[in-house]
Chains A and B, each alone.
Chain A
Amino acid sequence: MAGLTEHPVLGITDIKEESNENKATDKVVREEEGEKEMALIAGNSIHRSGSRPQLDLSGAAIQGNFEEKDPTILLPNQSDDISHLALDIGGSLIKLVYFSRHADRSSHDKRKMSIKERLGLLNGNRRSYPILGGRLHFVKFETNKINECLDFISSKQLHRGGMDSRSWHPEAPANENALIKATGGGAYKFADLFKERLGVSLDKEDEMDCLVAGANFLLKAIRHEAFTHIEGRKEFVQIDHNDLFPYLLVNIGSGVSMIKVDGDGKFQRVSGTNVGGGTYWGLGKLLTKCKSFDELLELSQRGDNRTIDMLVGDIYGGMDYNKIGLSASTIASSFGKAISENKELEDYRPEDISLSLLRMISYNIGQIAYLNALRFGLKRIFFGGFFIRGHAYTMDTISFAVHFWSKGDAQAMFLRHEGFLGALGAFMSYEKHGLDDLMVHQLVERFPMGAPYIGGKIHGPPLGDLNEKISWMEKFVQKGTEITAPVPMAPPGTTGLGGFEVPSSKGHSLRSDASALNVGVLHLVPTLEVFPILADSKTYEPNTIDLADHSELEYWFTVLSEHLPDLVDKAVASEGGTDDAKRRGDAFARAFSAHLARLMEEPTAYGKLGLANLLELREECLREFQFVDAYRSIKQRENEASLAVLPDLLMELDSMSEETRLLTLIEGVLAANIFDWGSRACVDLYHKGTIIEIYRMSRKKMQRPWRVDDFDTFKGRMLGSGDKMPHPHKRALLFVDNSGADIVLGMLPLARELLRRGTEVVLVANSLPALNDVTAMELPDIVAEAAKHCDILRRAAEAGGLLVDAMINIQDGSKEKPPSVPLMVVENGCGSPCIDLRQVSSELAAAAKDADLIILEGMGRALHTNFNARFKCDALKLAMVKNQRLAEKLIKGNIYDCVCRYEPSS
């Protein structure tokens, strides 16, 4: 009996699906294409500066690769020639992970060097070897379109270390010994093809090794990588890295492997099942005639499994079987109703069949996984593999099974990058991948233009430069796919999704499953660090507003959508209002609207989403379309106007008693904070008067008590009471907000007061522009200008190295006085109106070590984020609330109410 020699069971991750008949013809085609490709590479190489043959957009409008590639940041790879590409070639999908290296943007200007020197950044207390920054990209192709994958690799020269590799010489043949790490069954099957087409060998890595390495990397390096999925709700989970092991990793490919992971490289395959993704697809194909796995999944979404599954209620005449805890709706027998004699296969809806099948297989996997977790005492079960694909029902069913069988003791968890475990693991197997000791805080995930459309699914051939991106966006729109936020996108019509595995013929949505998660590009920024004086960095959550609340989400989407036309106007104007700028502006608007629409449709599409992330997304999107600084001219104008009235203000302040002055300074910060282009209400105000008029009017209205008023406590710390003179703070970090009056008339005078009291002041500003926020690059000039009228500022700025270029003529004047404490400027490492203190620049982290006072100013940094943050030192949070909803929600107050929250170090 044949069966007796067979072994039961188990699961392997990948698929080999091609029949023998196909192979012969395929080969011929490949050879032909191979020749063409060689020619293409040769031709391409000559013109590699960007004049690659234009893509035929009519047929491949969305086939582009939308990863961002910003030439202004990209620098040649300086170190070595290792390959930056790894592959996981499965039976249905090819997953690519590749790394593009970007040098640290650290500039070498004297001012910065001086700051670094002062903060001890150049003296070897940092790591002794450099880690290059870069980006980790995730791309997928269908295995049966492997040529697209080869074209992609070839056009980006990934097999030669990428286009940014200096070692790449177009004319030189590929190195005989060039190796690319690969895993998955296809690494064997397609080895010859890679050799032939790209001249590289595939270095096969063990599949399990890769899976585990990939999962360990993701779980340790990416915050909120894991999530639970219960009844359609995703909840991101932060895993404590010290308490990660052991866990059960369930990889659902064609079959299912269950792996007990005890540590890096320490794991054991403990179980599996032969009933997996291949079973779903295989049986589904036989039963429904679906053409693809995704089509089958999509069908299931409209199915009703009750027509085919026999439920407990069907057997018990509609009653529950309470005694053993089964409800009437529990499935007693999958496909049990199909035994009915008067119905044939044709009499059942394919939708229902697909759902029954999906339910049966998901539930079974969940059950077996739980039993194995239990057996080995594992608390956590992570599910990954192509079968899941972010499909909500699949995840729900698995979660339900685990929950049901464990009676709530165990939870199923999923990974956002679940499809890329193997490829990432293969990448990690390079000896010098440089990601070994990468920390969570050094990774920033960004979602470039294409993200909302492709949903982390298949990418096609690359769209290289900005012009191609814009063309694509215009094409997309022309074809009748108007993108309007915040409503979900309309169908793409005949736009065609040629290169994608989404079946274009169906055309009701851009994705086969709206809940599929999008995967962004991971930016590795080695210079980022955790802000060292957070009271508890483990429990710190930057966002005050939880966008998981759908009404909150909707509100902010509306705010951002309404603000969009104005922003586009500003952006276009900032680039001179040219036709090119207008085109880019349109493309930006559409791209950003598409992000919003995607997030409205699936709020967790980009992972855990806070308001800070949303606001940063907008800034990144602007930068993607090369709007370097949309508010540049506005900021300049307001800075000038404010600086003009600064001397008068300083005189006024100096005439006051110490106590009055402190109050006036705080009032001034709050009053000046009204100048905020991020607030609709304030933009309207601008039409009503000049800056100084508004400032004075605003300050006059600063009637105490404010809505949150800890001024007296703060004053007590600053001035003491009675005869007791408190010692001044050693160093204050001032997180500044807007340009213009806010910085010049609000924060600078406050900084001056601190300096006068002998406190070192570090002005902390954005690294990159966001709205009208002042940047670290702009601050030294503003300070220099202000210093012209103020001796205190001048001497402090000088001491802080802010006035490197000048002022020699003034130096003799200061000889009589003792040297001033320094006024310094550091960048915060981000380009958002908010700040996530888990990821700040190394300079800021260094500066913070000696700080004993933190002042956070403005809505973005003191309210939207960090309102609830606790620090190891004294903290003052100052802001005017320029949003009615936020005022009600946060302080039960009204628009223009003020917050002066002082929290002494505990």
Chain B
Amino acid sequence: MGPSDGDKVEGSSSGAGEDLRECEIEGKMEGSVDQISHLALDIGGSLVKLVYFKGNNNCSDDDKKGERIGFSNGSGTYPILDGRLHFAKFETSKINECIDFIYSRQLHRGGCWHHEAPVSENTIIKATGGGAYKFADLFKEKLGVGLDKEDEMDCLVAGANFLLKAVHHEAFTYMDGQKEFVQIDHNDLYPYLLVNIGSGVSMIKVDGDGKFERVSGTSVGGGTFWGLGRLLTKCKSFDELLELSHRGNNRVIDMLVGEIYGGMEYAKIGLSSTTIASSFGKAISENKELEDYRPEDVARSLLRLISNNIGQISYLTALRFGLKRIFFGGFFIRGHAYTMDTISVAVHFWSKGEAKAMFLRHEGFLGALGAFMSYEKHGLDDLMLRLERFPISETYSGGKIHSPLPGDFNDHESIECRVYAT
């Protein structure tokens, strides 16, 4: 394959501050637009994640010429399409909004309104996540497209491998509020533990491209945080709940070691008095009801419970298989500082400092990206190692899809890439 060309990554801080939260990876795509699907979906229990490619001059008749850069791989020259990979999220419960979004942009037809032809009977969209099964009929009915189900784990791993290899500074650690990017040596990437925190949590041991095994998991995940949090705080959204937790104090509800032992350190077994002995352990107090606790404090305790637990099980699982690196991804994290911090602290605590939790900038889109990668002709997989920096590009904006994400999700960076057909 071609030696010289590559995709480019661009960090950008000039992203949209608008409602729509999207990331974009710019790229170039080669080949006939209408032969290549440009959309892939990850339909989870809580969120639908979209990845779609949009040429820089999308749908113009001359896109094939104008954007093409000569590229030779020894057997011929292939057309290359410059463009961007866009990322979008919807709540699964509002899947109709997602379908409207796809329809309004004609993403299922390659994103071009002027393709007058009816949607082909054979048009398929790569999709993963449990909802790819559940909502297949709905997509057929509303958009006339079939969902081509890709295995969820395959997609997660493909997405993570792509990001870790292709995107400079994709991984970072987060401790004490400090984010530190980690340069992963591509030759020393495997094996690693990929912890995907969706509604539930999957822990996957990754040994190479397409080589992986789901070795563990837990049902206490993002769905638990949101579900229990809703019941306990009446929050209207996941993000609101996260926001609340940011302002809370878990000591009001959690029982600390010091409270059992009258403020004495329980040093003998290495616990300090401020260690949480029992999450929600103080809530057993007889004279307090749910209404007597601040929702902020409840949210905080819940977040710590779940983050701690995931961090602990992940560490034990990594230990079991002798894995040095643990990458956490999935929508639960969402770049939320406090979540990352509690997970990092848990891993640090249980490993006695030997293991570090790492996070991915594009953590929420592993599955969707992996589904996108599964199109046979996108050609991205050969380009991963040849990324270049592209100039800052504008983030797509517009349309109110769902409420804004809080926190400092990395920047509204976009990744520009070239995509070409083989």
A1-B338, A7-B275 given; A336·B262 CB < 8 A: no
A10-B276, A282-B253, A283-B283 given; A269·B269 CB < 8 A: yes
Contacts of A254 on B, CB cut-off 8 Å? 255, 260, 277-278, 281
B224 engages A6 (CB within 8 Å): no
A255 engages B281 (CB within 8 Å): yes
A331 engages B219 (CB within 8 Å): yes
B176 engages A333 (CB within 8 Å): no
Kindly name the residue among A11, A92, A253, A315 whose own CB sees the greatest number of chain B CB atoms within 10 A.
A315
B240 to chain A, nearest CB (A): 12
A46 CB within 8 Å of chain B: no
A333 engages B224 (CB within 8 Å): yes
Q: How far is the CA of A350 from the CA of B341 in the complex (A)?
A: 33
B200 engages A278 (CB within 8 Å): no
Contacts of B253 on A, CB cut-off 8 Å? 282
B218 engages A367 (CB within 8 Å): yes
Binds B, one of A16-24, A149-157, A624-632: A16-24
A206 engages B268 (CB within 8 Å): yes
B379 CB within 8 Å of chain A: no
A809 to chain B, nearest CB (A): 77
A2 engages B228 (CB within 8 Å): no
B410 to chain A, nearest CB (A): 19
B286 interface neighbour in A17, A279, A335, A353, Cβ under 8 Å: A17
B230 CB within 8 Å of chain A: yes
B173 to chain A, nearest CB (A): 14
A8-B275, A19-B285 given; A364·B133 CB < 8 A: no
In this complex, how many residues of chain A approach chain B with their Cβ under 8 Å: the count is 87
A8-B275, A8-B345, A278-B255 given; A333·B316 CB < 8 A: no
Q: B-facing mask of A182-217, CB < 8 A → 1, else 0?
A: 000100110000000000000000101000000000
Kindly name the residue among B131, B238, B255 whose own CB sees the greatest number of chain A CB atoms within 10 A.
B255
Binds B, one of A171-179, A306-314, A743-751, A773-781: A306-314
A16 engages B260 (CB within 8 Å): yes
Kindly name the residue among A3, A253, A321 whose own CB sees the greatest number of chain B CB atoms within 10 A.
A3
B278 engages A255 (CB within 8 Å): yes
A257 to chain B, nearest CB (A): 8
A128 CB within 8 Å of chain B: no
Contacts of A273 on B, CB cut-off 8 Å? 308-309, 312
Contacts of B313 on A, CB cut-off 8 Å? 367-368, 371
B199 interface neighbour in A257, A269, A336, A353, Cβ under 8 Å: A336
A258 to chain B, nearest CB (A): 11
Q: How far is the CA of A308 from the CA of B228 in the complex (A)?
A: 10
A274 engages B130 (CB within 8 Å): no
Contacts of A65 on B, CB cut-off 8 Å? none
A336 engages B290 (CB within 8 Å): no
B278 engages A278 (CB within 8 Å): yes
B133 engages A339 (CB within 8 Å): no
B284 engages A275 (CB within 8 Å): no
Contacts of B345 on A, CB cut-off 8 Å? 4, 6-8
Q: How far is the CA of A335 from the CA of B274 in the complex (A)?
A: 28
B316 engages A371 (CB within 8 Å): yes
A518 CB within 8 Å of chain B: no
B231 CB within 8 Å of chain A: yes
Q: How far is the CA of A773 from the CA of B420 in the complex (A)?
A: 96
Contacts of B177 on A, CB cut-off 8 Å? 1, 4
B316 engages A368 (CB within 8 Å): yes
A279 engages B199 (CB within 8 Å): no
Q: B-facing mask of A320-347, CB < 8 A → 1, else 0?
A: 0101100000111111111111001100
A316 CB within 8 Å of chain B: yes
Contacts of A19 on B, CB cut-off 8 Å? 285-288
A261 CB within 8 Å of chain B: no
B196 CB within 8 Å of chain A: no
Contacts of B338 on A, CB cut-off 8 Å? 1, 3
A4 engages B176 (CB within 8 Å): yes
Contacts of A335 on B, CB cut-off 8 Å? 223-224, 227-228, 231
B133 interface neighbour in A317, A332, A336, A344, Cβ under 8 Å: A317
B320 CB within 8 Å of chain A: yes
Contacts of B280 on A, CB cut-off 8 Å? 278-279, 282-283, 286
B402 to chain A, nearest CB (A): 13
B250 CB within 8 Å of chain A: yes
Q: A-facing mask of B33-56, CB < 8 A → 1, else 0?
A: 000000000001110000000000
B200 interface neighbour in A281, A323, A332, Cβ under 8 Å: A332
B284 to chain A, nearest CB (A): 5
A348 CB within 8 Å of chain B: yes
A287 engages B45 (CB within 8 Å): no
Q: How far is the CA of A277 from the CA of B419 in the complex (A)?
A: 54
A535 CB within 8 Å of chain B: no
Within 8 A of B (CB), among A255-286: 255, 257, 269, 271, 273-279, 281-283, 285-286
Q: How far is the CA of A10 from the CA of B274 in the complex (A)?
A: 10
Q: How far is the CA of A375 from the CA of B277 in the complex (A)?
A: 23
The residue in chain A whose Cβ has the minimal distance to the Cβ of B246 is A1
The residue in chain A whose Cβ has the minimal distance to the Cβ of B253 is A282
A2 to chain B, nearest CB (A): 6
Contacts of A278 on B, CB cut-off 8 Å? 255, 277-281, 284
B261 to chain A, nearest CB (A): 6
A631 to chain B, nearest CB (A): 54
Q: How far is the CA of A309 from the CA of B218 in the complex (A)?
A: 13
A338 engages B133 (CB within 8 Å): no
B260 engages A374 (CB within 8 Å): no
Contacts of A286 on B, CB cut-off 8 Å? 232, 280, 283, 289-290, 293, 298
A895 CB within 8 Å of chain B: no
A338-B231, A375-B320 given; A3·B151 CB < 8 A: no
A788 CB within 8 Å of chain B: no
Q: How far is the CA of A288 from the CA of B367 in the complex (A)?
A: 37
A333 engages B227 (CB within 8 Å): yes
Within 8 A of A (CB), among B384-421: none
A531 to chain B, nearest CB (A): 44
Kindly name the residue among B275, B281, B304 whose own CB sees the greatest number of chain A CB atoms within 10 A.
B281
The residue in chain A whose Cβ has the minimal distance to the Cβ of B231 is A345
A15 engages B269 (CB within 8 Å): no
B349 CB within 8 Å of chain A: yes
A14 CB within 8 Å of chain B: yes
B45 engages A314 (CB within 8 Å): yes
A91 CB within 8 Å of chain B: yes
Q: How far is the CA of A257 from the CA of B274 in the complex (A)?
A: 16
A539 CB within 8 Å of chain B: no
B295 to chain A, nearest CB (A): 11
B311 CB within 8 Å of chain A: yes
B199 to chain A, nearest CB (A): 4
The residue in chain A whose Cβ has the minimal distance to the Cβ of B214 is A324
Q: B-facing mask of A677-716, CB < 8 A → 1, else 0?
A: 0000000000000000000000000000000000000000
Contacts of B228 on A, CB cut-off 8 Å? 283, 335, 338
Q: How far is the CA of A271 from the CA of B315 in the complex (A)?
A: 12
B260 interface neighbour in A185, A282, A308, A330, Cβ under 8 Å: A185
B21 to chain A, nearest CB (A): 19
A360 engages B283 (CB within 8 Å): no
B13 CB within 8 Å of chain A: no
B415 to chain A, nearest CB (A): 29
A555 CB within 8 Å of chain B: no
A274-B254, A286-B293 given; A316·B341 CB < 8 A: no
What 3 A-B pairs are tightest by C-beta distance, nearest first?
Answer: A315-B130, A336-B223, A333-B223
Selected A-B contacts with CB under 8 Å, 25 pairs: A3-B300, A3-B342, A6-B345, A8-B312, A10-B275, A11-B278, A15-B255, A17-B285, A185-B260, A269-B269, A273-B312, A274-B275, A274-B278, A278-B281, A309-B219, A316-B130, A317-B136, A319-B133, A330-B219, A332-B199, A337-B223, A338-B230, A368-B313, A368-B316, A375-B319
Not counting A278-B279, A315-B131, a sample of 18 additional A-B residue pairs whose C-beta atoms are within 8 angstroms of each other reads: A2-B251, A7-B276, A11-B277, A92-B284, A206-B268, A208-B269, A254-B278, A255-B255, A257-B269, A274-B254, A283-B228, A315-B130, A315-B134, A332-B223, A334-B227, A336-B227, A338-B230, A360-B219
